[in-house]
Copies of this chain bind each other. A is one copy, B any other.
């Protein structure tokens, strides 16, 4: 009676490397060498073919879990973001996911609602699950990351973390330049919520460019957003309150398209026409921007390419490449109906 190993060569279900090896009367090592095309191992073509044929026959697929345990790359990325299902993040994620899947990577998504404890905890949990690297979107990262990391719209400069961000200075130039050309001089501004990463850099760029164009930024005409929401309601109350005091502005530079839609609504409800009385400039170019009535003039953030750029940078970092600290993405001015020549009032 021959000694029977516990493994059965062929099965109804999943085949392991050793089952395959036993079936082929080879050692698991040899099979592994063939299937992975390991160089420097001499295995005759006959055997190679036999192995490959058997692998095909049984539909063998390496168990990635086992492979990971060896310390191999898992081809898995952890993505950190504040929120799911919202315009900006969804747009970036679309680019991220597209590129990662194309490159044969899978990814975990973890959302943290800006909670510092979760932001601290998730990288460790992702590490325990063996991700190769982390992609953080609009996230206030801790000073030290345990894994190779690339951030999108990062809140701070962190050692060894490449930050992909919009070129805010250029964005401000496009936005204010456009309004200035149309003759607007009294402009209302929206300042983003303090927890949103872009707020500060964008506001700084706005002030800088406004000064260079000789445009005044006054506190009375500045709306400070503070609610953590992703509906147009965001932009409504600020404009409504503003209208109760001042009606002498001719344009509003909104923080984003969502708030611009709310702003238009508020102006409309306040009896003002857009762009007849007031021009409204959005930011982001979300999908419905071009189909809104009036369609939104806006600064387009190429969310998809921001996402794919970030993902591609992370993969390059994983491959050992040295990366710059900051990569800026150029915005684009989309002129539509919500802006027009300044009304003479």
Contacts and interface: CB of A to CB of B under 8 A. Distances in A.
A90 B101 contact: no
Contact of A293 (B69, B107, B125, B293): B293
> In this complex, which of A62, A74, A97, A111 has the most chain B Cβ atoms within 10 angstroms of its Cβ?
A97
Interface in A105-122: 106-111
Contacts of A63: 69, 128, 130
Nearest to A14: B127
Nearest to A62: B128
Interface in A34-73: 61-66, 68-69
A106 B110 contact: yes
A106 B106 contact: no
Contact of A64 (B66, B129, B261): B129
B268 A291 contact: no
A292 interface: yes
Contacts of A90: 84-86, 90
A107 B293 CA distance: 38
Contact of A109 (B74, B91, B97, B233): B97
A135 to B, nearest CB: 13
B65 A129 contact: yes
A287 B231 contact: yes
Copies of this subunit: 2
Of A106, A262, A291, chain B has the most CB atoms within 10 Å of the CB of A291
Given A65-B69, A85-B94, A91-B85, A232 B290 contact: yes
A109 B64 CA distance: 17
A111 B106 contact: no
A332 interface: no
Contacts of A91: 85
Contacts of A111: 97-98, 101
A241 interface: no
Interface string A9-26: 000000000000000000
Interface size class of A (residues with CB under 8 A): 35 or more
A264 interface: yes
Nearest to A90: B85
Nearest to A131: B106
A261 B291 contact: yes
A101 B90 CA distance: 18
Interface string A268-283: 1000000000000000
A311 to B, nearest CB: 12
Contacts of A61: 124, 128
Given A69-B69, A291-B265, A106 B125 contact: yes
Given A65-B69, A129-B76, A261-B288, A107 B106 contact: no
A93 interface: yes
A107 to B, nearest CB: 7
Contacts of A86: 90, 94
A27 interface: no
Contacts of A128: 61-65
A85 B65 CA distance: 29
Given A69-B69, A293-B264, A94 B84 contact: yes
A287 B230 contact: yes
Nearest to A75: B129
A341 to B, nearest CB: 22
